[in-house]
Amino acid sequence: MLHFRSPVSRSEKSLRFNRLAFWKPRPFSDAQLICRHAAVISKQIEDEWLLLQFETGQFYAFEDVLFAMWARLEVPTRFSELVENLCKAFDVDDQTCARDVRELLNELIRHRLVVIAAQTRDSE
């Protein structure tokens, strides 16, 4: 579950969310590499990841599926590999997993926690 923790004032938070409201998800291919954003530091504490996005000043706590995704994104990972690993870990079918992971990744991209790499492994 994605938990939002904000150290900013209410008026600053409103402005930030107004900008995010116009964000549109961008499609990405199975071959594109996904990696953690360079401006994010994270620390695993028991069964939860705590994250700080330095550029936005936002704190996050990940558990369950997001916990598993974040752990697998320690190194740049292809979308297809991420889905395959999560399917095995959570015993879910490929289509459902791919759809859910795509939605979660778009949220993580929107909050500048992960990025899509400019190159794919195929183009290296």
pLDDT band at residue 49 under the 50/70/90 scheme: confident
Q: What is the mean pLDDT of residues 77-81?
A: 93
Q: What are phi and psi of 20, to 5 degrees?
A: -70, -25
CATH top class, domain 2-123:
alpha beta
Kindly indicate the confidence band of residue 44, based on its pLDDT and cuts at 50, 70 and 90.
confident
pLDDT band at 119 (very low <50, low <70, confident <90, very high): low
Q: HSE (CB half, 13 Å, CA atoms) of 91?
A: 0
Distance CA(121)–CA(37), nearest Å, equals 18
Predicted model pTM? 0.72
Domain assignments of the chain as residue spans, ordered by start:
2-123
Tokens at 56, concatenated: 């936005």
**pLDDT for 73:** 92
Rounded Cα distance, 13 and 25, in Å: 21
Given pLDDT bands bounded at 50, 70 and 90, which one contains residue 1? Answer: very low
